[in-house]
Amino acid sequence: MTVIAPGATVGILGDGQLGRMMALAAAEMGYFVHVFGPEADSPAAQVSHRSTVAPYSDLAALEAFAKSVDVVTLEFENIPTETLDYLAAFVPVRPHARLLEVTQDRLLEKSFINSLGIGTTTFANVDSIDALVGAVARLSAPAVLKTRRFGYDGKGQVKITGESDLDAVWAEMKNAPSILEGFVNFRMEISVIVARSANGETAAYVPVENRHKNHILDITLAPADISAPLAERAMEIAEKIAVKLDLVGLLAVEMFVTEDNQVLVNELAPRPHNSGHWTIEACATSQFRQIIRAVCGLPLGDPARHSNAVMRNLIGDDVEDWEAILKDPASSLHLYGKREARAGRKMGHVTKLFPLGTKPTA
């Protein structure tokens, strides 16, 4: 594969905070960045060389974008695969559209993971109220009904208990194609972020523990407090999935660790991930530098950490604590340039480092 050298332009589909941190990393490495997304004054556009504000279906804007960049990647996976196919006629697109077809659909995603001999929670396709009734009878309650596409941070999902009115639940889903997932009594949620280059080189970051509040990631502790064999198993799973998807770029693999130390894959995200923000301060190569390396055909960087870390999201009005955070010399504050703080909106994050060999504490 031809190396895309510094001085070239990286195109990023999506204009949020992940794109912002990708653009900053790319600039530090000598690349220009052109972001494409629907929002004016977006977090990514604020720090990029160029930006295009247009819908992902605007073919004229997409063609102009493609002709202005040397490679295209993404910071947001819910982009129409038709958009990636159209861009691929002009410029390399990494990751490819077929990968998104799998990761955008929870049913296809879990079926693919199971086909590799990797465990997930039990699940069933639900496309009608009758299918929901049958799925609940087979999987039993509690369970979680999720839309097959586009849900995130708790959106597009409903928990089902033995007392739930299934007609009301299905009405709440508005007849959207869905998947029922059996409830997992897990000990911990972890994630592994793995990079893969076009020549097949892979590099995985250590598994981290993720703790949520109101269905949104609150705190990530790096590393997760799990045994070395379990950590190795989680990293092997992530690398296997990346290879079988023919990934070029970055993949976050969210997993459950059960009480009997099984590792079950929950979701995939083919982009930088909230649970990898700690790598900016704590690793030789951050997840954001790593994705630029991967999609530009550079050798992958070392994912090893030089410190343990805790990353905390700043959600909504949490951002008002910025002054107190800055008074702590051990805290690294990242703000995303969003003009309005709203409930549930990720406004920034803060990371604290701990020496290797010590346990990171929230």
Rounded to whole angstroms, the Cα distance separating 175 from 39 reads 29
Q: What DSSP string describes 55-104?
A: -TT-HHHHHHHHHT-SEEEES-S-S-HHHHHHHHTTS-BSS-HHHHHHHT
For the segment 18-47, the average pLDDT, to the nearest whole number, is: 97
pLDDT tens, position by position, 256-277: 999 999 999 999 999 999 999 9
Domain 186-354 has CATH 3.10.20.30: no
In this prediction, residue 1 carries a pLDDT of 65
Rounded to whole angstroms, the Cα distance separating 275 from 177 reads 28
Pairing of strands 9-13, 71-74: parallel
Sheet (strand 71-74) strand order: 50-53, 32-37, 9-13, 71-74
Q: Quick one: tokens of 351?
A: 């990371």
Mean pLDDT for the chain?
A: 95
In this prediction, residue 150 carries a pLDDT of 76
The answer on pLDDT for 153 being more than 70 is: no
> According to CATH, what is the number of the domain 122-182?
3.30.1490.20
The answer on pLDDT for 92 being more than 90 is: yes
For the segment 179-184, the average pLDDT, to the nearest whole number, is: 93
pLDDT tens, position by position, 332-359: 999 999 999 999 999 999 999 999 999 8
Rounded to whole angstroms, the Cα distance separating 270 from 103 reads 8
The answer on pLDDT for 155 being more than 80 is: no
What global pTM score does this model have?
0.95
> According to CATH, what is the number of the domain 9-93?
3.40.50.20
Q: What DSSP string describes 313-362?
A: EEEGGGGGGHHHHHT-TTEEEEE---S---TT-EEEEEEEEE-TTS----
User: CB–CB of 294/94 below 8 Å?
Assistant: yes
180 beta partners: 124, 145
Domain ranges of the chain: 9-93, 122-182, 186-354
Q: Quick one: tokens of 17?
A: 């905070």
Q: Quick one: tokens of 249?
A: 């770029």
The answer on pLDDT for 151 being more than 80 is: no
Question: In percent, how much of the chain has pLDDT > 70?
Answer: 98
